[in-house]
Amino acid sequence: MEGHEKYPVTSSNRLERCLVVSLSSVRRTLKKAYQEAAGRGGWRKVGAQFGISPAMALRIANQKYEPKDPKIRVRLGLPARVEVSACPVCGEVHVKKNCPKRVIRHRDLFAEDPEELRRALEERKEFTPSRLPHPAKGAG
């Protein structure tokens, strides 16, 4: 793979770049590289410099295309994108495992009739309290 002195691209340093740039600056850089390569290879040379196909270089520079492939994004210095699923409870994406907006309702067993509790425990039956705490107050 051939590189340019201003835009060195090799197989060893392409995926190891730490600098993250904006898509608009990538577009400007691709257009500038194309102007410098005019008459000497055009988009093929630009694509080879950045490690992408000539058609992809043209689409990004002129058609405002945003690459979806993480490998191409990293080669251009853009942050890699990955698909994540949204929380089924609130619809947002969380870093933590549990949703912070999920309401956990605890039973207030001490507010129930002690005789009913004793009977449910002795008979090993499911106990359903006559009332649950108010969701806004939530004991927990």
Better-predicted residue by pLDDT, 5 or 44: 44
Q: Which amino acid is at 62?
A: N
pLDDT tens column, 86-129: 888 888 888 888 888 877 776 666 777 788 878 888 888 776 66
pLDDT tens column, 8-37: 444 443 434 446 678 889 999 999 999 988
Taking alpha carbons only, the member of 76, 86, 64, 82 closest to residue 33 is 76
Give the pLDDT of residue 44.
92
Q: Count other C-beta atoms under 10 Å from residue 44's C-beta.
A: 14
Give the pLDDT of residue 53.
93
Give the angle 54-45-81 at the CA atoms, nearest 5°: 45
Give the pLDDT of residue 5.
47
Give the pLDDT of residue 109.
67
At 45, list the tokens: 């040379």
Give the pLDDT of residue 60.
93
